[in-house]
Amino acid sequence: MKIGALAKETGVSVRMLRYYEAEGLLAPARTSGGYRDYGSADRDTVERIKMLGASGMTLPVIQKFLPCALDTRGEFEPCDELTDILKEQMALVADKILRLQESHALLCELHAKVDNRSLDG
């Protein structure tokens, strides 16, 4: 499939797909005319990249983690050498959750003060 079709199927822009290729995350076959020819394995790889990105991983971390992908399933089996990266990513997400909870508490406090003012006036 051509790059535009892959972009449409995955919801990832053509520009980003080219970036993935430049970074070594994708290696599409080439037609005799030199055009990229993406297959279902490339589509699966893009979906894995999206899933890992949604978990908070950056592309450099995803580059290290992708080799642990199980090709036959949409799942991952952490490689032993990447267990530390996985733990680090979990800690980063936990920290983000804590900061969001603190932000939420502050917003609730401010909202309560605004509500009390409107009741007083």
pLDDT tens digits, residue range 37-94? 999 999 999 998 998 888 888 898 888 877 776 554 455 666 776 788 888 888 988 9
Is 118 among the domain residues?
Answer: no
Q: How confident is the model at residue 7 (pLDDT cuts 50, 70, 90)?
A: very high
Is 4 among the domain residues?
Answer: yes
Is 12 among the domain residues?
Answer: yes
**Torsion 29-35-40-44 (CA) sign:** positive
Tokens representing 105 are 């508490």
Distance CA(38)–CA(41), nearest Å, equals 8
Is 49 among the domain residues?
Answer: yes
Is 5 among the domain residues?
Answer: yes
Residue 9, domain extent: 1-54
Q: What CATH number does residue 38 fall under?
A: 1.10.1660.10
Is 33 among the domain residues?
Answer: yes
pLDDT at 61: 86
Domain count, the chain: 1
Helix (H) or strand (E) holding 38: none
Is 7 among the domain residues?
Answer: yes
Is 22 among the domain residues?
Answer: yes
Neighbours of 93 (CB within 10 A): 13
pLDDT surpassing 50 at residue 20: yes
